[in-house]
Structure 1
Amino acid sequence: MNLRSLRIITEDIKSLVSFYEKVTGLSATWHTPDFAEIGTPSCNLAIGSTKTLALFGENIAEPSANKSVIIEFMVDDVDNSYELVKNTTNDILQQPVTMPWGNRSILFRDPDGNLINFFAPVTKEAIERFL
Structure 2
Amino acid sequence: MTISLKYTQVTVNDTDESLAFYRDALGLNVVQDVSSGEFRWVTMGTNASDGHCIVLSVPHAGRSQSDGDALAELLAKGVLPMLVFTTDNLDAAYKKAVAAGAEVLQEPIAQPWGPRDCAFRDPSGNMVRLNQE
**TM-score, normalising length from structure 2?**
0.78
Sort the Cα spacing of 1:68 and 1:49 in 2 relative to 1 into closer, same or farther, 3 A: closer
C-alpha displacement at 1:83, in angstroms? 1.1
Percent identity reads 22
| AA of the residue aligned to 2:43 | E
Aligned length: 119
Q: Tell me the amino acid that sits aligned with residue 49 of structure 1.
A: V
Find the counterpart in structure 2 of residue 47 from structure 1. 56
Runs (5+) with no aligned partner, structure 2: none
Rounded Cα–Cα distance in structure 2 between residues aligned with 1:6 and 1:80: 25
Q: Deviations over 1:73-113 (max 9, x none)?
A: 10111111111111112510111101011101010000000
Alignment-derived partner of residue 111 in structure 2: 99
Counterpart contact for 1:86–1:92, Cα < 8 Å: yes
Distance 1:98 1:81, change over 3 A: same
Which structure 2 residues correspond to residues 54-93 of structure 1 after superposition, within 5 A? Answer: 54=63, 57-61=64-68, 62-63=71-72, 64-65=75-76, 66-93=78-105
Equivalent in the alignment of 1:128: none
TM-score by length of 1: 0.79
**What residue ranges of structure 1 are gaps of 5+ in the alignment?**
122-131
- C-alpha distance in 2 between matches for 1:69 and 1:10: 12
Q: Which residue pairs with 2:23 in the alignment?
A: 21
Alignment RMSD: 1.9
Query: Structure 2: which amino acid aligns with 1:44?
Result: C
Q: Is the 8 A contact 2:42 2:56 kept in 1?
A: yes
Between the aligned partners of 1:88 and 1:49, the Cα distance in structure 2 is 21
Name whichever of 28-37 and 100-109 sits farther off: 28-37
Change (3 A) 1:49 1:30: farther
